A and B are shown apart, each in its own frame.
Chain A
Amino acid sequence: MTNVVSIKELSKRFGRIRALNKVSFDIPSNSIFGLLGPNGAGKTTLFSIIADFLKADAGTVEVLGIDTRYISRLQGRLSILPQDAQFQRNIPILDQLVFFRLLAGRTKKQAREEVLHSLELVGLKSVAKRRVSSLSHGMVKRLGIAQAFLGSPEVILLDEPTAGLDPASARQIRDLVKQLQQHATIVVSSHNLDEVQELCDHVAILDHGNLVLAGSVDEITRADREYNVSLSRPLKESELEKLTSIEGVRSIKKFSTAAASQSKKSTDYLVILNLSADHLDQDAVIAPVLRTLLDMSVTPRKLTEGRSLETQFLEVTGTTPQNR
């Protein structure tokens, strides 16, 4: 698998604040790459340097083998959904996007067709002639995504693509990103760890401008022979001891998601089973665990292999993305 984005020793400061500190990693081609980190970790700064909006203090970024300091060579091949960027408020969205395609050398007719297709993908075709000022926040977000999908970019950077969208629109965007993976490499920054785990095959986690973890989602979440079991209710200490006594179970820890303390949803109660490396047949351990849970009138709602991305994120950053 070749790398389409290669980041080497990238550093950037804003006055006394160190936004990025010698960050290096690669993004493989045709992957959906997740960029994770708490607020202020440096995700948007990294996106902005890749797109040459910001100039790095040190280090290099290559996209498709081209140094991004010569960003004009990437015109049409790299696109971005920037965070918090605004469109011209009083100009119809069709005119704004057609203008972008005219810059790419399309005729007016071609540009119009491409724009309408792109707007259709994000469900905005019916409002193509409206001005941006008349669109809702979610619609403007989808408009931003539509402009990022214009043409046939080989690398697409999406900074918080589903933030502020209703669940149905977010699902639509996630499905669209999955479809586009066949033609492009997509880099997504998000606070939504479930979304990243669902969408992405590779991730990098930034914290305080430092890269703390990078790799494939499989590698990261399959560590240490662990299983996550979502439960219908929290376990008592005595019940935990009973489970730990099952042969092959090395340890069990209770784990609550960030929302667990406020929410009483069953899926927020988790136990993480750490299995002994001596037991090669993991099914022989899992089955009695599930049986014991049912005997205790606790219904297992979901069983997933390996660590969740959230667990891993907590471990390397010491917090959840929302809490920072």
Chain B
Amino acid sequence: MNLKTINIAHIHLISLYWSRFAVRSGSGLVYLMIALVFGLSVAHIIIMPVEQFMALQKKQMGQANPQLVKKTITDIGQPIIQFVLGIKSLEQIAKEAALPQFPLPNDTSNTTQSGNNTPGFDPWTNFLLDKKPALLSSIFLILIFGMPFVISFLAFNQISGDVQNHGLRYLLLRTERCNIFFGRFIGTVLFSTVVMAIIVATITFYLGMKTRIYPATDLAVWAVQGFLALAILMVPYISVCSLISASVNSPFLSLILAKVAIAGVLLIAILGSFAWKPAKYLLYALPWGWQNNLLHPATSHWVIAVFASLAYTAFFLTLGYIRFETRDL
């Protein structure tokens, strides 16, 4: 390890150069397109039924009934939120969808755990559905679940491509390996953060201007929190890609390994837990086990999730740096 030679000015330059030109390289452009399509499609799928309902109400009654609009949003958001948070399984959600739409006297699964929450929901669901703009909450939860799969399209080629074509050799006599490694990591994080900001801003702006369901301040505050959650969450996943990219010469192999690592942990944990319950703890090998807490109502949970993200980042970056520093280039 040769961290003494870290040069902040070099890291600053490399990260800006890397993020500035990321879009001109194939991977940056592909990521931008996929992330935008994914983010905006999710938003479209969630918002569209509400828009259609409001349009129908306006047509039939001259204006939308806020109570009915809220109920529609709850109907859409609740299963998404409860499934992504792991509160209910798909099976439970499907069963409930098939039942008549009024509370059953013996249904204990929907019993409120907090006195002043919406009846039928646990506090976390209630926070996301009732206390915060529910449409935005649903969109954020899906993005938090899906974006880790997308981020590898941007982050897989931080190092490996330039090792394969020896392009790094033009840099190696001009700066230290640690500056290249950390500079490119930060550049990738910057680019990812900008893309997240664009997606969240677009969705929030559309929601605020088109549907006018929520007060602008509530929407803006929750949008900032959601953006922070997404931006913070991408950091450990990018560091996983940094480790893989610094370890192999082929960008294609790096992409495949990144995909396998990120999706594989989730799949093995979920499928494995059917056969052996403790297998679900494999989720904690990556931030999968913590990441939803970035939208948790309790500040302590949020802080723990942030620190967990930083800890994962530090771990994977350290491994990646050791590999990059000691290998032939």
Please report A residues at the B interface, Cβ cutoff 8 Å: 48, 51-55, 71-72, 74-75, 78-80, 82, 84-88, 90-91, 95, 99-100, 102-105, 147
Minimum C-beta distance from A63 to chain B (A): 10
Could you tell me the distance between the alpha carbons of A79 and B173 in the complex, rounded to whole angstroms?
A: 7
Question: Is the pair A147, B24 in contact by a Cβ cutoff of 8 Å?
Answer: no
Please report B residues at the A interface, Cβ cutoff 8 Å: 5, 9-10, 13-14, 17, 21, 24-25, 165-176, 326, 328-329
Question: Is the pair A72, B165 in contact by a Cβ cutoff of 8 Å?
Answer: no
Instruction: Give which listed residue, B5, B9, B166, B173, contacts A86 with CB less than 8 A.
Output: B166
Instruction: Give which listed residue, A51, A75, A88, A105, contacts B169 with CB less than 8 A.
Output: A51
Minimum C-beta distance from A178 to chain B (A): 23
21 CB contacts below 8 A, A to B, read: A52-B172, A52-B173, A53-B328, A54-B329, A71-B172, A72-B175, A75-B175, A80-B169, A82-B166, A82-B169, A82-B170, A85-B166, A85-B170, A87-B170, A90-B25, A99-B13, A100-B171, A103-B13, A103-B174, A103-B175, A147-B170
Question: Is the pair A90, B329 in contact by a Cβ cutoff of 8 Å?
Answer: no
- Are A54 and B328 also in contact (CB < 8 A) when A99-B13, A103-B10, A103-B13 are? yes
Question: Is the pair A80, B173 in contact by a Cβ cutoff of 8 Å?
Answer: yes
Question: Is the pair A51, B13 in contact by a Cβ cutoff of 8 Å?
Answer: no
Could you tell me the distance between the alpha carbons of A104 and B170 in the complex, rounded to whole angstroms?
A: 13
Could you tell me the distance between the alpha carbons of A300 and B294 in the complex, rounded to whole angstroms?
A: 87
Residues of B within 8 A of A102 (CB): 13
Given contacts A88-B21, A91-B21, 4 further A-B contacts (CB under 8 A): A72-B175, A72-B176, A80-B169, A99-B13
Question: Is the pair A78, B326 in contact by a Cβ cutoff of 8 Å?
Answer: no
Instruction: Give which listed residue, A55, A75, A90, A91, contacts B174 with CB less than 8 A.
Output: A75
Query: Which of the listed residues B171, B326, B328 has the most CB atoms from chain A within 10 Å of its own CB?
Result: B328
Question: Is the pair A53, B329 in contact by a Cβ cutoff of 8 Å?
Answer: yes
Question: Is the pair B173, A87 in contact by a Cβ cutoff of 8 Å?
Answer: no
Could you tell me the distance between the alpha carbons of A225 and B167 in the complex, rounded to whole angstroms?
A: 47
Question: Is the pair A85, B13 in contact by a Cβ cutoff of 8 Å?
Answer: no
Residues of B within 8 A of A80 (CB): 169, 173
Residues of A within 8 A of B169 (CB): 48, 51, 53, 80, 82, 85
Instruction: Give which listed residue, A53, A87, A90, contacts B172 with CB less than 8 A.
Output: A53
Residues of B within 8 A of A78 (CB): 173
Residues of B within 8 A of A71 (CB): 172-173, 176
Residues of A within 8 A of B165 (CB): 85-86
